[in-house]
Structure 1
Amino acid sequence: IRNNRLPGYSFDARGNVSFGIQDYTDFPGMKYDPEIGVFGMDVSVSLQRPGWRVARRAIQARRIPRSHRVSRSEGIEFMKAHFKVEVVE
């Protein structure tokens, strides 16, 4: 992710998004620490609607209908609206 831009291929069919951060000092307020060194990280975000616990609960777990799942386009719109991210196709 650079300059609040994400490539379109970062989103999967279920609306989840994954991206990499090359250096932790890219975050505001973070300074280089010689004890830590330089490292990046991979970030994966899973988007779910309220009520998803029904599928994960131990007793009487049920399937989530297709209409309740988050689609790729809904995931993209969520990231644009809440995080001001530009998606580059």
Structure 2
Amino acid sequence: EILERGLKVREYELRRDNFSSTGNFGFGIQEHIDLGIKYDPSIGIYGLDFYVVLGRPGYNVNHRKRKSGTVGFPHRLTK
């Protein structure tokens, strides 16, 4: 839900520089009030950074403790 609001603030458009070579993407917004969150004077205004890591089924083979392996090149996400 919060990612959807963040993309709405950016008008669902991201630059090519926002994407990494592995298919992940990230972007930032300047003010949290753009998300529809109420302004609280005690907190002030702050920005947010979003970073999304995409994966396919089977990606945990790289991160598990027992019998770990590597994700094959055809199964990796790319631009």
Report TM bin, short chain: 0.7 to 0.9
Match of 1:26 among 7, 29, 34: 34
* Deviation >2 Å, runs of 4+: none
Structure 2 counterpart of 1:12, one-letter code:
S
Unaligned runs of 5+ in 2: 1-8
Q: Percent identity?
A: 38
Structure 1 residue 24 displacement after superposition:
0.8
| SS across alignment from 1:44 | strand
Structure holding more strand per residue: 1
Unaligned runs of 5+ in 1: 73-89
Q: Report what 1:16 is aligned to.
A: 24
Structure 1 residue 2 displacement after superposition:
2.3
For normalisation by structure 1, the TM-score amounts to: 0.73
| Number of equivalent positions | 71
Structure 1 residue 21 displacement after superposition:
1.1
